[in-house]
Structure 1
């Protein structure tokens, strides 16, 4: 946790920086529909290409900002999202149901184990449209109701549909907006709806996208993952002593999982033995006469280290055609093992460098607001996990306060930077979040500081951000405490 504080503080608040592991998506059917059940997803992503407005689904699960046609993706709402409504239900949330009812809830603030769907207009060129744009959701079908809302600064629900909380409805974001919201489904089952994006062009006229279909599967009725077979390829008819044997594990269909273990069984033995330091899709070794008749299998594991698939055994044949194997050299082998279980994902802040010192609030050049700037103190992320599932770091700020005076957390914005990373680590800075002084939520809702897609982000990286606070001119300084003097 980082703390925003000055030597004589007017406002003090806390910025929470969270670390999220990112997994990989699986294909859902013979038609290769992608199944996503967790991670950052901009379900409604507006784009402008060759004079055409389009509506896509963009996700950071299989990579960074990967676009898809919404019809090609199945969005799974896990049974773990089930939430029993309390007794009493807060009056502001009474639209969700009665005490004891169960809803399947996806929160506005990211839970790394669940879907985090939102919307983005960041790919729309500035000046092309007049604000706001429109995302119209219609033809909602399913066994229950679907609700969509945001949580306000004081915990109450805020409509994103122009007044109501239940779909169908219309979301009206401005250009260059990235936002998330709370979703709730009242029953298990399959839901689908149609979405159309539109906007008024600054030059006149209206642009409208083609309709897109979205599908959510909620609870235990979600489609099962495909059955994947595993085979080992690359085995030659025979080898000579000194040849390099290189074997590859091949999935059919591909799942995106990439954690393997290899096992061998000596000729005449019934015992399979795990191969140390072989956790990838490829296993290589140098053949000797002792390898003749060696059987090899590969096993594929999921994120919970459960076996997903196992290959049929392949057998190594070593035939030196009667030429004796050369004598072993008078040498010693030195072995050291780094266990694949030794890896870890760590986020840290130097305890001696955790105070962010912002500049004094000063009037902006336009004279309509107070402005302060500063830099987030370095955040260090170290990823030594061999499976390299990727990661994401996000930040969120609460309201600033000094006695009875308050300044909403949305007054803070940032511009993330990656200040240090290993060569080819692939760590990407998150998008800038503008202060919500004029409009928007600023960092009162979670913003991505940096992320690394699956297969990247290994080693140690350092993150930072330029910070900006914009406050109304009605803000007043905290009174200076009086000190008594004794004689």
Structure 2
């Protein structure tokens, strides 16, 4: 038998190469879609602590319904009405690093005039005697000096009353002692003997200054 040689027609090799190229592309696509036979997971965790807020210097007054002054200690020079200031608390939760060098704080009090209808008793007729209730380990925290009504009470305290800002409690060095301190004051309103009878009202304002 004779061997027959077939000649490829013009252009056929190009078709064969194109087909081979398509096959190669198909194999490559199948390889990228392969899935791993085994998988392992790693647990992740994190602990997020609460933010620590910066310390603060604060002033609070114990809950109260106001102070009713009652007559006590009147004499021939004046009628006297006394009462006790609700406990005032100063708290300093700052760290030494948060307190500037040489810083100090003070609480002062100032009263308004007592008014009753058409009649008025000046704030200078009200005095007080501060008392620190919390011991100060360093001695840097102390109560203010007593202040008498303009009608002297015989104690020798300055007879100026609470018409201006008078010291209740203070510290000379805030960075040397932090914590919480309670303070109060005995109040005394001394009026002229012939004061007009009636119901009088005033407001005692306490202010905290941080320097």
* DSSP 3-state at the match of 1:377: coil
Whole-Å separation in 2 of the counterparts to 1:398 and 1:472? 18
CA deviation digits over 1:254-296, x for unaligned, max 9? xxxxxxxxxxxxxxxxxxxxxxxxxxxxxxxxxxxxxxxxxxx
Larger Rg: 2
* DSSP 3-state at the match of 2:124: helix
* DSSP 3-state at the match of 2:138: coil
For the pair 1:408 / 2:117, whether they are aligned, the reply is: no
Equivalences for residues 75-86 of structure 1 within 5 A:
none
Match of 1:375 among 62, 73, 84: 84
Equivalences for residues 151-300 of structure 1 within 5 A:
none
TM-score by length of 1: 0.27
Give the root-mean-square deviation of aligned CA atoms.
Answer: 2.7
C-alpha contact (below 8 Å) 2:136/2:142 kept by paired residues: no
Q: Which residue of 2 aligns with 1:467?
A: 187
Residue 445 of structure 1 and its aligned partner are, at CA, apart by 0.7
Residue 360 of structure 1 and its aligned partner are, at CA, apart by 2.1
Whole-Å separation in 1 of the counterparts to 2:162 and 2:183? 17
* DSSP 3-state at the match of 1:356: coil
What is the count of residue pairs matched by the alignment? 142
C-alpha contact (below 8 Å) 1:422/1:460 kept by paired residues: no
* DSSP 3-state at the match of 1:372: strand
Whole-Å separation in 1 of the counterparts to 2:126 and 2:70? 13
Match of 2:170 among 434, 445, 451: 451
Match of 1:385 among 84, 94, 108: 94
Q: Which residue of 2 aligns with 1:320?
A: none
Equivalences for residues 5-154 of structure 1 within 5 A:
none
Residue 382 of structure 1 and its aligned partner are, at CA, apart by 0.6
For the pair 1:358 / 2:69, whether they are aligned, the reply is: yes
Q: Which residue of 2 aligns with 1:343?
A: 55
C-alpha contact (below 8 Å) 1:416/1:430 kept by paired residues: yes
Residue 362 of structure 1 and its aligned partner are, at CA, apart by 5.7
Q: Which residue of 1 aligns with 2:145?
A: 431
Q: Which runs of 5+ in 1 are unaligned?
A: 1-335, 480-487
Residue 345 of structure 1 and its aligned partner are, at CA, apart by 1.0
Residue 356 of structure 1 and its aligned partner are, at CA, apart by 1.7
Q: Which runs of 5+ in 2 are unaligned?
A: 1-48, 153-157, 200-211
Whole-Å separation in 2 of the counterparts to 1:354 and 1:382? 23
TM-score by length of 2: 0.59
* DSSP 3-state at the match of 1:368: coil
Match of 1:395 among 91, 97, 109: 109
Whole-Å separation in 1 of the counterparts to 2:119 and 2:113? 10
Whole-Å separation in 1 of the counterparts to 2:131 and 2:159? 22
Q: Which has the higher helix share?
A: 2
